[in-house]
């Protein structure tokens, strides 16, 4: 460092920006141990780090905005004005020590001679330790700095935790996990209930294969010996199975059933288990509907391309929509097949062609030799859809529908040889349709704002009229109170 250059150090705190001039830096700044010794001694540090200027934050909102910008590596207008006013005019006469690398890069791009190294970090650590004494010796109006730090910490953390409810993917991850758990539990318990009830009425298990319908019919029939063949019961059975032939088979099987008799307590337990499983089926249906609504808000394009369940599985496996959007298409292609991938890499064998995407209907439609190709193509479109959903400000499924059509056209090309349209033409159509939706939303928002302004003006005018002074009534006109008194007198007469 040149001998005629001064070193200034910028320190950002909850109370404001502090600028210190470091004296005798040529002597102590070459060895880190000597800098640490100076920082540990309050007297020596007070002689070395001389107070230059301090910019206090006037409000908590200003402090929060400045800290947010510094975290992102941006220099606010307040910071630039503060540095311009207190640093020497000629850049060659000084160096500016900064602790944050991204902030230092931004200030360097704006023309400040920035220095970042270990010794600067030690100096900033010393300023942090002696900050209260340095600032209060020159500005006694500064209040409790600890309260500033606590208040800014709370507001900064609250701001980081705030979210857009339309862009929350955590509920999608929890929903798909709960649906998977419900599927396993329902499958296990329905098998148990089917086997248990089949000891009493074995023919019903062969007649009705659907588990939910079987449980509803079993809960309705109960003890087959006590179930009567009448019109009311037939209507109930018909409503469940929705097939007249199955309805006749059930009633005819009751008459010739080979099942054993069952006690009342056993039947009570079977009915209780069946009713609980029916409630689980209802809960699963509600969850699927909820998942559909959440995906429509969070990832509409990915939902249009893959469907509800597979889109939710990809987001859950990645951890978040942001992680999925950052993943390349090659990673999305093998999501869910990590064990097979690493096994193949270890044994130097063939890597898997697909993971979770194997559940997609597109791969099921493709022939065996084209499954790998369509998997790669589908992973590419999933990557595009995820990025559009994550980074776009307007939520719609225009691009998702176009990407879905592209995958279907690709399938036709691989199977029948029909050439698909060019990608650039399809994307131009999607962009124009998306722009039309954005413009219509902006127009409707402008109309609603105009209505709000009109209503607010009318309400303010109404308040002004109601607050009008009774003494300001024009001459020749009677006030409402006098009119009322006259009416009372005339009625009394």
What is the spatial distance between Cα 351 and Cα 341, in angstroms, rounded to a whole number? 5
Domain boundary among the residues 437, 458, 478 is at 437
What value, to the nearest 5°, has the Cα angle with vertex 328 and ends 325 and 334?
A: 105
> Does 17 lie in the same domain as 59?
yes
What is the spatial distance between Cα 294 and Cα 425, in angstroms, rounded to a whole number? 31
3-state DSSP assignment of residue 435: helix
Task: Centre a 10 Å sphere on the Cβ of residue 418 and count the other Cβ atoms it contains.
Answer: 10
How much is the CA Rg of the chain, to the nearest whole Å? 37
114 phi and psi angles, rounded to 5 deg? -90, 140
What is the spatial distance between Cα 40 and Cα 31, in angstroms, rounded to a whole number? 15
> Does 139 lie in the same domain as 45?
yes
> Does 76 lie in the same domain as 132?
yes
**Angle 60-71/145-161 helices, nearest 10 degrees?**
60
What is the spatial distance between Cα 470 and Cα 461, in angstroms, rounded to a whole number? 17
Write the CB contacts of 437 (distance below 8 Å, at least 6 apart in sequence).
394, 396, 398
Q: Is the pTM of this model over 0.75?
A: no
> Does 225 lie in the same domain as 139?
no
> Does 432 lie in the same domain as 304?
yes
3-state DSSP assignment of residue 266: helix
Total number of domains in the chain: 3
Query: Quick check: 337 and 399 in contact, CB under 8 A?
Result: no
Cα four-point dihedral sign 314, 319, 321, 324? negative
Quick one: DSSP state of residue 96?
E
Domain boundary among the residues 127, 161, 195 is at 161
> Does 180 lie in the same domain as 80?
no
* C-alpha count within 13 angstroms, C-beta hemisphere, residue 458: 6
Which tokens in the block code for residue 92? 């060659």
Q: Where are any strands of DSSP class E within 207-343?
A: none
What is the spatial distance between Cα 198 and Cα 218, in angstroms, rounded to a whole number? 10
Write the CB contacts of 282 (distance below 8 Å, at least 6 apart in sequence).
none
C-alpha dihedral (330, 335, 337, 341), degrees to nearest 10: 30
> Does 157 lie in the same domain as 11?
yes
Quick one: DSSP state of residue 14?
S
Task: Centre a 10 Å sphere on the Cβ of residue 388 and count the other Cβ atoms it contains.
Answer: 23
> Does 383 lie in the same domain as 350?
yes
Please classify residue 114 by burial: count the beta carbons closer than 10 Å to its beta carbon, then call 0-12 exposed, 13-18 middle and 19+ buried: buried
> Does 125 lie in the same domain as 21?
yes
> Does 228 lie in the same domain as 86?
no
Please classify residue 317 by burial: count the beta carbons closer than 10 Å to its beta carbon, then call 0-12 exposed, 13-18 middle and 19+ buried: middle
Taking only the tens place, the pLDDT of each residue in 430-458 is: 999 989 988 888 888 888 878 877 877 77
> Does 239 lie in the same domain as 377?
no
157's enclosing H/E stretch is helix 145-161
Q: In this structure, is residue 391 part of a structural domain?
A: yes
285's enclosing H/E stretch is helix 264-298
Q: How confident is the prediction along the chain (493 residues), in pLDDT tens digits per residue?
A: 445 678 898 988 888 898 988 887 666 656 667 777 777 777 777 777 888 888 888 888 888 888 888 888 888 899 999 999 998 888 888 889 998 888 889 999 988 999 888 888 888 888 888 877 777 655 555 666 778 788 888 888 877 766 555 567 889 999 999 999 999 999 999 999 999 999 999 999 999 999 999 999 999 999 998 888 888 988 999 999 888 888 889 999 998 988 888 899 999 999 999 999 999 999 999 999 999 999 999 999 999 999 999 999 999 999 999 999 999 999 999 998 888 888 888 888 888 888 899 989 999 898 888 999 999 999 999 999 999 999 887 888 999 999 999 999 999 999 888 899 999 999 999 999 989 988 888 888 888 878 877 877 777 666 666 555 544 544 444 555 555 555 555 555 5
What CATH number does the domain containing 275 carry? 1.10.287.4070
> Does 150 lie in the same domain as 250?
no
C-alpha 278: how far from chain center: 32
State which residues form the domain around 272: 171-290
Measured between alpha carbons, how far apart are the two ends of the chain, in Å? 106
97 phi and psi angles, rounded to 5 deg? -85, 130
Q: In this structure, is residue 157 part of a structural domain?
A: yes
Give the largest Cα separation in the chain, rounded. Answer: 114
């Amino acid at each position: 460092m040149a001998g005629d250059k001064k070193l200034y150090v910028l320190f950002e705190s909850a109370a404001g920006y502090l600028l210190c001039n470091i004296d005798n830096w040529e002597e102590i700044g070459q060895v880190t141990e000597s800098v640490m010794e100076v920082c540990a001694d309050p007297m020596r540090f007070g002689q070395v780090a001389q107070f230059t200027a301090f910019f206090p934050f006037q409000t908590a909102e200003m402090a929060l905005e400045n800290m947010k910008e510094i975290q992102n590596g941006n220099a606010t207008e307040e910071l630039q004005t503060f540095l311009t006013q207190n640093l020497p005019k000629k850049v060659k006469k000084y160096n500016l020590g900064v602790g944050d690398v991204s902030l230092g890069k931004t200030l360097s791009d704006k023309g400040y001679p920035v220095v970042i190294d270990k010794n600067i970090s030690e100096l900033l650590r010393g300023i942090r330790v002696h900050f209260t004494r340095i600032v209060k010796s020159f500005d006694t109006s500064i209040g409790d700095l600890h309260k500033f730090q606590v208040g800014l910490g709370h507001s900064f953390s609250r701001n980081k935790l705030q979210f857009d409810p339309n862009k929350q993917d955590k509920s999608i991850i929890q929903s798909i996990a709960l649906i998977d758990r419900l599927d396993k539990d329902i499958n296990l318990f329905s098998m148990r209930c089917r086997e248990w009830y089949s000891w009493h009425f074995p023919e019903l298990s062969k007649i009705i294969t659907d588990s939910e319908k079987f449980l509803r019919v079993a809960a309705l029939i109960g003890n087959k010996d006590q179930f009567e063949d009448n019109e009311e019961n037939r209507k109930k059975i018909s409503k469940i199975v929705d097939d007249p032939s199955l309805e006749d088979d059930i009633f005819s099987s009751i008459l010739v059933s080979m099942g054993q008799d069952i006690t009342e307590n056993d039947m009570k337990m079977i009915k209780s288990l069946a009713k609980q499983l029916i409630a689980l089926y209802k809960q699963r249906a509600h969850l699927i509907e909820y998942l559909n609504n959440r995906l429509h808000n969070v990832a509409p394009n990915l939902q249009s391309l893959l469907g509800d369940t597979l889109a939710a599985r990809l987001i859950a496996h990645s951890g978040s929509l942001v992680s999925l959007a950052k993943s390349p298409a090659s990673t999305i292609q093998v999501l869910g097949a990590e064990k097979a991938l690493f096994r193949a890499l270890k044994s130097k064998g063939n890597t898997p062609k697909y993971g979770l995407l194997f559940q997609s209907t597109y791969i099921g439609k493709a022939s065996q030799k084209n499954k790998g190709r369509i998997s790669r193509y589908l992973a590419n479109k999933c990557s595009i859809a995820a990025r559009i959903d994550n980074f776009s400000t307007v939520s719609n499924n225009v691009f998702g529908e176009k990407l879905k059509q592209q995958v279907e056209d690709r399938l036709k090309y691989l199977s029948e040889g029909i050439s698909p349209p060019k990608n650039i033409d399809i994307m131009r159509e999607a962009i124009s349709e998306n722009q039309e939706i954005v413009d219509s939303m902006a127009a409707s928002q402008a109309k609603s704002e105009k209505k709000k302004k009109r209503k607010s003006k009318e309400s303010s005018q109404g308040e002004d009229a109601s607050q009008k002074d009774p003494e300001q009534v024009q001459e020749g006109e009677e006030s409402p109170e006098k009119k009322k008194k006259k009416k009372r007198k005339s009625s009394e007469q």
